Amino acid sequence: MQTKTLPTIKMPFRNSGWAAVASGILGVLVIISLIGYLILRSSNMGASIILNRFHDVGVSIQFLLLIPVVIALQKMSQKQIPIITKTTITTGITAISFIALFSLLILPKIVSDILYMLHLGVFGV
């Protein structure tokens, strides 16, 4: 008796799609934790610090999850004109990486909270 195997279908952007979904879900959770921090910061200092730390780590993970999405968008643009250039992709990935790095450096108080928002504004990530 022979077993039949199904043909494999290549889905090159599937992982990038899941990374985008995970980044979006994490973004919603990060916003909720930021709102919780702002509500609880005067009444419950312990809980507000935990929510603030979750926000900082969540932002880092959220933006690191966006790097495969940016690369997939660049690959998808190769099929159309105008093509997204390597310089644009490098700038985007650098900005995303700096936001992730600076939001992690907030935890040990190495950088200010405002520093990671600078890249958000300048690069429009």
User: The tokens of 51 are what?
Assistant: 């929510």
CA distances for 47 relative to 11, 36, 41, 42, angstroms = 42, 9, 8, 10
pLDDT tens digit string along 37-50? 888 878 888 888 88
Q: What percent of the chain has pLDDT over 70?
A: 82
- Distance of alpha carbon 120 from alpha carbon 15, whole angstroms: 25
pLDDT at residue 8 above 70? Answer: no
Which range is least confidently modeled, 4-18, 40-54, 57-71, 99-113?
Answer: 4-18
- Distance of alpha carbon 29 from alpha carbon 57, whole angstroms: 11
Please state the domain extents for the chain. Answer: 14-123
- Distance of alpha carbon 51 from alpha carbon 45, whole angstroms: 10
pLDDT tens digit string along 66-85? 999 988 888 888 777 777 78
- Distance of alpha carbon 101 from alpha carbon 56, whole angstroms: 10
* Virtual torsion, Cα 40, 45, 48, 50, nearest 10 deg: -160
The pLDDT of residue 28: 93
CA 77 to chain centre: 21
